Amino acid sequence: MIDHSLKKTVDHIDITKYNVTDLVHELRSTSFTSREIYNACQLYKQMLEEEELTIILTIAGSTQAAGCLKLYRDLVRFNMVDAIVATGASIIDMDLFEGLGNRHYIGSNKADDDILRENYIDRIYDTFISEDDLKQVDNFIEDFASNHCGAKTYSSREFLNLLGWHLRTGNSLVQECFKEDVPIFCPALNDSAAGIGLLMHQTNNPTSHVTIDSIKDLRELTYLKVEMQNTGLFMVGGGVPKNFAQDIVVAAESIGHRVPMHQYALQLTVADVRDGACSSSTLDEASSWGKVDNINTQMVYGEATSTLPIIANYAYNNVNLKNRKRRKLHELFRS
C-alpha cells in the first residue's frame, strides 16, 4: 500500500563526502552514457582549469527537489561556477522553499493524485511537498516585496541579490550566491511562487509596487558576455535557461558588440532530438546559429540527478579550486 503522507525527507547529496575518480577513469573505455559521463568530467575539468573562462550554470527541471540542492550550493561555495541562469521554480519553489525551513519528502510516482489533492500534497514525480508550505513561500515573497524592496523596477538578478542579502539562513543557494557575488538570472521568474507572491503584492499595492523587467535581464547577461568574452556553459536540463544563456552571443551582436561564441558547452538532458528541440536544440545545432563553438561540447543523455553528482564530484576532487580566480560578477553591475 502506498503511503500518501509526508514522513521521510529527501536527503541532499554532499559531493565532499565521496570520490568517484576511480570509477570515472574506468568509464573511459566503456560506451553509451558511461563514456559521455567520462567525457563530460574531462570537459568540465578543462573548463575549470582554463584561467580566463567564465562558467555559466543553467538549471531547469526539478533536480533540487530530488536531492541536488546542496550540490548547487557547493558549486558556488567551492568556486565551480561564476553565474547562474535558472527557472523560477528551481530558485524559488525548491531552493527558497527549503531555505525557509520546509522540506521535500520521499513519495511515489504511483500515488493516487486525488488522495494527494484532498490532503493538500503536491507531487513532483516521486517526491511530495506540502501545498501549505509552498503557500508560505508565496506569502514570504509578497511580504519581502511589500516591505523591503520599494516601488522599483528590478531585473531578476537585482531582485534575487536583494533577497539573498535579506535572508538569514545559510541553507539557500540564493544567499550563497549573494555571499560569493555570483549573479542569478531567472528570465521566467514569474513562472514560480515568486510570480504568485508578486501578483499578491501588486494587487495589494496597485499604484506603487515592484516590477520585474525581463529585458533588463537580457541586457545584463549580455553585458556580462561583452565584458567577460570567454564563456562556457554547464547546462542541467534545457528550456528557457539554456536558450537564454546561449542567446547572449547573438544579443551582443545585435547591439553592436562582436563577441566569441561560447567556447565550451556541456548539457545533461533526457530530451529527445527528433522534434528539433532537445530543450532548445542540440549543441551542434546551436553552432549553426552562432551561439556555441562545437569543438568543446558534450551532451550527456541521462537523468541529471544521476549524472550531475558524478561530474561535480570528479571536478571537486581533481581540480585545484583554491587557485581558480573568483569572478565576483555582481561587481559588473554596481554603479
**pLDDT for residue 278:** 66
Q: Is residue 7 part of a domain?
A: no
Number of helices followed by number of strands (H, E) in the chain: 14, 11
Q: What is the pLDDT of residues 257-306, one digit of tens each?
A: 999 999 999 999 998 776 666 655 677 677 777 778 788 999 999 999 99
**pLDDT exceeds 90 at position 132:** yes
Let me know how long the chain is. 335
Query: CA nearest 310: which of 25, 9, 10, 11?
Result: 25
DSSP string, 256-325: T---PPBSEEEEEE---STTS-TTT--HHHHHHTTSB-TTSEEEEES-HHHHHHHHHHHHHHHS-GGGSP
Q: Is residue 61 part of a domain?
A: yes
Write out the three cell numbers for 292. Answer: 556555441
Structural domain contains residue 10: no
Question: Residue 237: pLDDT band by 50, 70, 90 thresholds?
Answer: very high
Residue pair 12/67 in contact (Cβ under 8 Å)? The answer is: yes
- pLDDT one-digit tens code per residue, 88-121: 999 999 999 999 999 999 999 999 999 999 999 9
Q: Across all residues in the chain, what is the average pLDDT?
A: 94
Give a yes or no: residue 206 inside a domain: yes
Number of domains in the chain: 1
Q: What is the domain range of residue 235?
A: 21-320
Lowest mean pLDDT among 102-111, 172-181, 187-196, 293-302: 293-302
Secondary structure letter of residue 326 according to DSSP: P
| Residue 12 within a domain | no
Q: How far apart are the C-alpha atoms of 231 and 248, rounded to whole Å? A: 11
pTM: 0.96
Residues 106/11, Cβ–Cβ less than 8 Å = no
Cα atoms in the Cβ-side hemisphere of radius 13 Å centred on 247: 18
Provide the pLDDT confidence category of residue 175 given band limits of 50, 70 and 90: very high
Q: Is residue 247 part of a domain?
A: yes
Is 225 catalytic? The answer is no
**Catalytic member of 7, 70, 291, 328:** 291
Question: Is 169 within the bounds of a domain?
Answer: yes
In a domain, 83, yes or no: yes
Q: Residue 217 belongs to a domain with what CATH number?
A: 3.40.910.10
**pLDDT category, 51, cuts 50, 70, 90?**
very high
